[in-house]
Chain A
Amino acid sequence: MSRVVARLKDLTKTYEMGSSSVRALDGLSVEFEAGSFWAIMGKSGSGKSTLLNLLGCLDRPTSGSYVLNGRDVAELSDDELSDVRLANIGFIFQSFNLIAELTVQENIELPGFYADVEEEQYVARARELAELVDLSDRLQHKPTELSGGQRQRVAIARALMNDPSIILADEPTGNLDSSTGDQIMDIIKDLNSKGKTILMVTHDEDVAQHAGEHLYLKDGRRQGSL
């Protein structure tokens, strides 16, 4: 039995919408083990996005606990959450979310820039990561000069910058054609095989097949299966 990276216990998130409140997550409890590859699935409105935001430490739960690497992060301050994101979480978004004004190199460097790392160190690491995702010859290009698949590879390299314990992927192939999507999934699977924990939100059954574990959400609760 391997180590648990992230443990959710009775995680609840309610949003106040005027007079009524919406319960986006309703007492969810899950354990994510180190090195596992999870697909988080569900229809829209099932609580996927909310769960992703909570897992990514972008938001705080209304109640319940979220222990990440042995530390309860449910009630941390904004600054502390930023530190947790910086060190532990690598995001891969559906729409890549690269900064258009920065070059590929600078985009990959970004998490290193915010971490207390020497400049020479993160510049070198960015080069290594670019090589890993096969973009060494595009370092000085702007994201707009790249194809969708290349952009997502930049995003993956960026997510790996600070060697996070979790890679959070939000529909990583959603904006890509199927063959490019397959290439991206290959990279993600490769990362997983090297020991990275991958939590991937998707509604695409085919993409979900790549994952070892599945979490089906409905109305903010876990379902056994679809």
Chain B
Amino acid sequence: MTDVWKKVVRGVRLGLKDISRHKMRAFLTMLGVVFGVGSVVAMLAVGEGASKQALEQIKKLGSNNIVINSIKPSSEDQQDAQRSRLSMYGILHADHDRIAESIPVVKRTVPVKLMQKKAALGELNMELRVVGTTAGWFELVRRPLLAGRYLTEGDVLQESGVCVLTEYAARKLLATQNSIGQTLRVGDQAFVIVGIVRNEDAGGGIQVPDQQNDVYIPISSCISRFGEVASQMATGSFQMERVELNKLLVEIDSIENVEPAAKAIQTVLERFHKKKDYEISVPLTLLKQAEDTKRTFNIVLGSIAGISLLVGGIGIMNIMLASVTERTMEIGIRRAIGAKRRHIILQFLIETVVLSGVGGLIGIVFGVTVPKLITIFSGMPTSVPLYAILLSFFIGVSIGIIFGLYPAARAADLDPIEALRHE
């Protein structure tokens, strides 16, 4: 075993020596593999980074959850509503009850009412998004508590005038831990601050349910204090909307039941809504789609990079064939002295493997650096997966072996007598 190892070490050393004699040529030969391996790693890193970002956002929504959003129907369906200046659409409390009661796999439902209100704490004020919800919100949208407590079932039952602020809103209003117990004015109502939660920075395409400038209040208090009708000024005219629930978060008991449950919810809603004024989004489905996209993306990028590796391999073969011709005399001498065919094959093969191996290592350095630069200069997230490094290095070296075999075999098949005559 140690004997074989010694021979390998000796062979690699000789290969390196052979290569070092033609540094420029070796470098040019390597370039193909350098760029091939480099582009495989870099492309996979860019793809991985993009999909990782998407996946993380989707995971934030929870893969056991289904999110139903109320949406304003298209204007055509709304003709009647327009005239009456009161548009009514969206998920109803009745829908909530129906979903909670008729679909057994539903573990929890969290109704959400949203409205924009001006809020004031002492001297400071800001526009906040009022989220009327239940205690379940904090169990579905898991955000760490920074101070105080979450909303409770009791708050909802008692229609308490309490609220939980997000970290961002708290900062803006200069609320601190000491602000727990103080009164926040929301619109024309007063709420006692009972807690502050951290909120996630939601960047990118996938929407998480929470926002930076949220204030959470019990849904019962929200309805009793602000009513079901929201009014706003739009293009000079007064617009009123009646939306019972802006959002309904549904948690399903297990991941296998998520997609069937989504279908069931669809059926329930379709029966009672003649207009399509809701939208069901299933993070799990999005997750699966994102993973599919990622796979396709990787295959496409991988094949493009693979082609450059192939070209690199052909480059190696080309140079090695030239090298065999150039070194015919040397091969003849080695054979005359007593080298077997396999010695010659090994000599050339080790050379190509060392070439492609060194090229692969340089390529990996490239492939790791380039995505970093992309991240620095364009802000695009990248992540170099370990498998990309191993895979591309392995492919690079394999290409060295595959494309080195033919020139090596050509060298070994030279007739020693003919080779010795070669000048």
B14 CB to closest chain A CB, in angstroms? 9
B contact residues around A58 at 8 Å (CB): 335-336, 416-417, 420
What is the size category of the interface that chain B forms with chain A? 20 to 34
A86→B337 contact, CB < 8 A: yes
A contact residues around B341 at 8 Å (CB): 78-79, 82
| Stretch binding the partner chain, chosen from A38-46, A111-119, A204-212 | A111-119
B334 within 8 A of A: yes
| Chain B contact surface mostly | helix
Q: How many A-B residue pairs have CB under 8 A?
A: 60
B10 within 8 A of A: yes
A99→B333 contact, CB < 8 A: yes
B343 within 8 A of A: yes
Which of A56, A87, A114, A158 contacts B339, CB < 8 Å?
A114
A97 within 8 A of B: yes
A contact residues around B21 at 8 Å (CB): 101
- Closest residue of chain B to A53, judged by CB? B417
Interface string of A56-79 (1 = CB under 8 A from B): 101100000000000000000011
Which chain A residues (10-36) contact chain B, with CB distance < 8 Å?
none
B328 CB to closest chain A CB, in angstroms? 12
A contact residues around B416 at 8 Å (CB): 58
Distance of A149 Cα from B332 Cα, bound (Å): 22
B260 within 8 A of A: no
B420→A114 contact, CB < 8 A: no
B336→A110 contact, CB < 8 A: no
Which chain B residues (227-277) contact chain A, with CB distance < 8 Å?
none
Interface string of A139-162 (1 = CB under 8 A from B): 000000000000000000010001
A119→B10 contact, CB < 8 A: yes
A88 CB to closest chain B CB, in angstroms? 9
B340 within 8 A of A: yes
B18 within 8 A of A: yes
B204 within 8 A of A: no
B contact residues around A91 at 8 Å (CB): 336-337
Interface string of B17-34 (1 = CB under 8 A from A): 010010000000000000
Distance of A199 Cα from B416 Cα, bound (Å): 20
B413 CB to closest chain A CB, in angstroms? 10
Which of B10, B330, B336, B417 contacts A85, CB < 8 Å?
B336
B6 within 8 A of A: yes
A83 within 8 A of B: yes
A110→B417 contact, CB < 8 A: no
Which chain B residues (35-73) contact chain A, with CB distance < 8 Å?
none
B contact residues around A86 at 8 Å (CB): 337-339
B18→A101 contact, CB < 8 A: yes
A contact residues around B343 at 8 Å (CB): 114
User: Can you sample 9 A-B contacts with CB below 8 Å?
Assistant: A58-B335, A78-B340, A79-B341, A82-B335, A82-B340, A83-B338, A86-B337, A100-B330, A115-B338
Pick the 10 closest A-B CB pairs, nearest first.
A86-B338, A85-B338, A82-B340, A97-B333, A114-B339, A111-B337, A79-B340, A99-B330, A58-B416, A114-B338
Q: Which residues of B are at the interface with A, using a C-beta cutoff of 8 A?
A: 6, 10, 18, 21, 329-330, 332-343, 416-417, 420
